[in-house]
Structure 1
Amino acid sequence: MGPHFLQLPEELLLLILSYLDGQALGRLGQVCRRLCALAGRDALWRRTARKCLNSGFLQQGTDAILWFPGISVKERVRVSQNWKNGRCRRDILLKWKRNLMPWLQISGDLLYLSQAEEIRAYQLRPNNNGLHRRPFTVFLGHQEDVCRFIISNSHIISGGGDGKIALHKIHSPASILFTAHEQDVNCVDGHGGILVSGSRDRTTRVWSLASNRLGQCLHTIQTEDRVWSIAINPLLSSFVTGTACCGHISPLRIWDLQSGQLMTCLGTDFRRGAGVLDVCYETPNTLLSCGYDTYIRYWDIRTSTRRCVKEWEEPHDSALYCMQSDGNYMIASGSSYYGVVRLWDKRMNHCLQSFSLSSPTSSPVYCLRFSTTHLYAALASSLHVLDFSNPDSRFTTF
């Protein structure tokens, strides 16, 4: 490198460095302090970060980017490499004595975990240092176990084994509980003043969340099959139900949110009992599903055939209880045996990384959630975390 290189205007230096890849930028940053500062600029790492797993960038159109505050783009690329290579530190954050089927949500610096008939909120510690083991708040109301819950508009909305739906205000002790179904409320989803619930009683119901019509049932839909999962389209025009696949050819059906009428079915080649345990929209036109048939499936509802665009098979033939996507390239899934969490890259056909969290005893991963740096997994008797910001070389993936 010539002695006059660093005397060039900063704009020109940044233009030259923009032609380097991430590896070259990293090496250049070790030359001197000036180049270290220049090579660490966010603008130089954005193109690389867009191609990375779980880097905090969502591809929406061409230039729309979702920023995660407090983490530089270069650091997100480094953490993304940890995700890709399976480098992480493992820990058990909580344990409890009896086996449960917990559900999990994260909002800001709070982690919400269902424990039998309770939902407990735990404060996450700063600087990636676990969580406070004493609950910050406990939400009560159900007489039976909480099946699933969501966080929407400063409310926790939960469905329970008692057939009821509870609405808890996060920053207030106020809560509302009403009877929604004759059997377990297996799933709920809510957006824009509308709540949709699915039940073991083979019905789906649409509810109003407006203050003057709170808890009023707008539609009751006979699904003729147990409903395991549900998701509302981001455009609030429709919703999808995932059922047990015992009464229909397809367990995935899309319904009009305003009228409650069936719009379409997705797929026709499901075997009996291949129920869908988790489903989520990535965009208004694309969604992901997983369940007892051991596949993650990616659907584009714009296709005339209504067949999945791509699918990924769980290699050990285990049911998939849950999943989450970063909205870009990465999917994480939780299996039914030995607490296995798998990471998938949509651009690849096979599993990218696997982690067994409950060996030698076996437990499903009932729910998982991840941020840019951490993955949290709720098993039958424990809550686990994988910290990709601070890897530990003692642990390896299989």
Structure 2
Amino acid sequence: MLLAQLPEDLLYHILSYLDYRSLSRLSQVCKSFYCFVNRDAVWRRIAKEFLNTGITREGKDIYPLIRLKERVKIAQNWYNGICKRAIPLKWKIKLLPWLQLDGDILFLSQAADIRMYHLHKDSGRLHHSPYEIYSGHKGDVCRFALTDSLLISGGSDGKILVHSRRNDVPVEFTGHNQEVNCVDAKDGLIISGSRDRTARIWTLTSTSPRDTIPMYDRVWSVAISPTLSSFVTGTACCVNFSPLRIWDVERSACLGSLGSEFRRGAGVLDIMYESPFQLFTCGYDTFIRLWDLRLSPRKCAMEWEEPHDSSLYCIQTDGNHMIASGSSYYGVVRLWDKRQTECLQFFQLSSDPVSSPVYCLRFNSSHLYAALATALHSLDFRQNPAHVR
């Protein structure tokens, strides 16, 4: 019996012993093998081991419309740092921009506005002009969050604006008396943190806060748990307690702190949940930390140190093995493999004598976008590597 005549389940089992190079060579043998090997089922196991293929540790596929073989090809470039750089947007005034990606739409804050840009599906490039502009703040937008239908922004004017993504007139939420440094939103729940040393809990049914929590320190970052039962705050660490604390949403009560050995001033600038039990943080102390909330007491499970002693302004993960971080000097973006302690790749985006931090970065399967003080940078990882065709 010829190999191609074997039952499909047996053929799948045989191909599971092959690496990506062997699979790629096999797909070039004949048309029937090409069609069979290109199936996602053949590449799923391999894709789980690569960086940023869109397959999470739970097996969820983030990019189902892109073939897994193609994503494995691109993943090699992420690992090897092979990309094409571009600067799709520039502006003259130095800003503290923030980014969000939603499919083929990129949202970018510039001063008091948030601009929505469409990305070309084939190239990942931005359309030159914004498709929508969301405005209403009397000062700069500090942070914003997206839901399926809403855009929620916090500004230096102390206001929180809830915009419909259809760009109707925004609803103004008032309560903070200083700039809103951070905001997160999920399923009608909004958490904000401010320089006024409070965190506030909001719902969409009222423009006044449901609860106000005294923090006794400036709040730099917040993140709502995927379960919606709790949230985490990151403060400036200028008082004698941990800058990371977990709060119960319903009771507004502190459920505990994370870590106890932060040096004074080691504020937490970015927080993200990867799962209900895993939390990533970064900040002024130059470390990325992974916290396992299942441990008792809750403690740091792993950490990665920025090698040039730079503060870390932002992080994002692919839900599996990759972390991307933005540093405070020379616009440095670093890629990390969670299975290693050393930095995997780094990209210096700015060569200006007065360097800019990477204030925010976001990526999809093929592109990374990074916002610096005067420009938006993009890295395109879709170059064809030698081993997969």
TM interval, shorter chain, is over 0.9
Instruction: Say whether residues 1:354 and 2:346 are aligned partners.
Output: yes
Deviations 1:54-95 (A, max 9, x none): 1110122xxx42241331111111111111111111110100
Supply the distance in 2 between the matched residues of 1:236 and 1:296 (Cα, whole angstroms): 24
- Aligned equivalent of 1:273: 265
After TM superposition, the structure 1 stretch with the greater mean CA deviation from structure 2, 28-37 or 4-13, is 4-13
Question: What residue identity is the alignment partner of 2:333?
Answer: V
- Aligned equivalent of 2:133: 138
Instruction: Say whether residues 1:381 and 2:379 are aligned partners.
Output: no
Question: What residue identity is the alignment partner of 2:177?
Answer: E
Instruction: Say whether residues 1:305 and 2:270 are aligned partners.
Output: no
Deviations 1:264-299 (A, max 9, x none): 000000000000000011111110000000000000
Question: What residue identity is the alignment partner of 1:287?
Answer: L
Supply the distance in 2 between the matched residues of 1:153 and 1:92 (Cα, whole angstroms): 28
Paired residues of 1:282 and 1:288 also in contact (CA < 8 A): yes
Supply the distance in 1 between the matched residues of 2:9 and 2:339 (Cα, whole angstroms): 35
One of 211, 223, 227 as aligned partner of 1:219: 211
- Aligned equivalent of 1:47: 45
- Aligned equivalent of 2:322: 330
When residues 29 and 360 of structure 1 are mapped into structure 2, their CA distance, relative to the original with a 3 A threshold, is same
Paired residues of 1:89 and 1:392 also in contact (CA < 8 A): no
- Aligned equivalent of 2:123: 128
SS of the equivalent of 2:216 reads: coil
> What TM-score, normalized to structure 2?
0.95
Paired residues of 1:87 and 1:391 also in contact (CA < 8 A): no
When residues 392 and 383 of structure 1 are mapped into structure 2, their CA distance, relative to the original with a 3 A threshold, is farther
The percentage of aligned residue pairs carrying the same residue is 57
Paired residues of 2:337 and 2:344 also in contact (CA < 8 A): yes
One of 277, 281, 290 as aligned partner of 1:285: 277
> What TM-score, normalized to structure 1?
0.93
Shift of 1:8: 4.0
- Aligned equivalent of 1:5: 3
After TM superposition, the structure 1 stretch with the greater mean CA deviation from structure 2, 160-169 or 244-253, is 244-253
Paired residues of 1:55 and 1:76 also in contact (CA < 8 A): yes
SS of the equivalent of 1:58 reads: coil
Q: How many residues align?
A: 385
Deviations 1:330-372 (A, max 9, x none): 1100000010000011111111110000114411000000001
Paired residues of 1:336 and 1:363 also in contact (CA < 8 A): yes
Q: For residues 83-102 of structure 1, what are the structure 2 equivalents within 5 Å?
A: 83-102=78-97
Supply the distance in 2 between the matched residues of 1:103 and 1:74 (Cα, whole angstroms): 32
Supply the distance in 1 between the matched residues of 2:297 and 2:149 (Cα, whole angstroms): 39
Shift of 1:97: 0.5
When residues 194 and 75 of structure 1 are mapped into structure 2, their CA distance, relative to the original with a 3 A threshold, is same
Paired residues of 2:175 and 2:208 also in contact (CA < 8 A): no
Paired residues of 2:84 and 2:381 also in contact (CA < 8 A): yes
One of 358, 364, 371 as aligned partner of 1:365: 358
Paired residues of 1:88 and 1:391 also in contact (CA < 8 A): no
Instruction: Say whether residues 1:162 and 2:160 are aligned partners.
Output: no
Supply the distance in 2 between the matched residues of 1:95 and 1:323 (Cα, whole angstroms): 22
Instruction: Say whether residues 1:314 and 2:306 are aligned partners.
Output: yes
Question: What residue identity is the alignment partner of 2:50?
Answer: C
SS of the equivalent of 2:210 reads: strand
Shift of 1:36: 2.3
Shift of 1:11: 4.7
Question: What residue identity is the alignment partner of 1:270?
Answer: F
Q: Which runs of 5+ in 2 are unaligned?
A: none
Deviations 1:15-35 (A, max 9, x none): 322321212111222223332
Supply the distance in 2 between the matched residues of 1:181 and 1:95 (Cα, whole angstroms): 32
Q: For residues 186-197 of structure 1, what are the structure 2 equivalents within 5 Å?
A: 186-197=181-192
Supply the distance in 2 between the matched residues of 1:161 and 1:358 (Cα, whole angstroms): 26
After TM superposition, the structure 1 stretch with the greater mean CA deviation from structure 2, 79-88 or 28-37, is 28-37
